[in-house]
Structures are given as C-alpha cells and as structure tokens.
Amino acid sequence: MINAILVFNNHGKPRLVRFYQHLAEEVQQQIIRDTFHLVLKRDDHICNFLECGRALQLCPCPHSLFGGSDYKLIYRHYATLYFVFCVDSSESELGILDLIQV
C-alpha cells in the first residue's frame, strides 16, 4: 500500500505532498525533511530503494512514524525533482519505479 507521495526539488522545497493516512502537520513536515536528507545523501549510482529498519538503523527513519519498520522509500531523481514513494513491504519496488516513470 502506498502511504505517501512526496515530490520536492533539489533544495528540499516540497512541490507535491500527499499522505494517505492522517498525520499532524508537524509530523508531516518532519517526514518531508528527514526523507529529503536521506535521499539527498545518496549517490546517483546507488539503488533507488531504502528499507526502513535494517538498512537505516544508523539513520533516523522518518517512516517509523507510520507505525512500523516494514516500510520502504522508493525514489527517482529527474533533473531538479525527487519523486519519493513511501510504501509498505507488500508493494513491488519495480512496479513503483515504473509508476514514477509513467
């Protein structure tokens, strides 16, 4: 299930934000900031999937606020925009990347 769709520019300014569950405004802003910093740190040649829990034990996982550690960030960087989907473990990573491409 898709829990959030975030689109922001290279400077972290949100261009599109859609959360599919009710969260407080402060929590949403914190998730956007944390997600931007996690995605920005990654090299362009690295995989576009981030799993919360095992892979992000050293980093604060913003999606633990969604209520679990089985969430993944799937993202693509096009020109000056980052397209980020927060999904649970039942979603296909390649399917979400295809959705971003379309």
DSSP per-residue letters across 56-92: TSSS--GGGGGT-S-EEEEEEEETTEEEEEEEETTS-
**Does the predicted TM-score (pTM) go above 0.85?**
no
Just give the CATH number of 2-100. Answer: 3.30.450.60
Q: How confident is the model at residue 46 (pLDDT cuts 50, 70, 90)?
A: confident
Predicted confidence (pLDDT) at residue 70 exceeds the cutoff of 90:
no
d(CA 6, CA 32): 7
Which residue has 């990654």 as its token pair? Answer: 42
d(CA 57, CA 39): 15
Which residue has 């405004």 as its token pair? Answer: 25
Q: Where are the domains of the chain?
A: 2-100
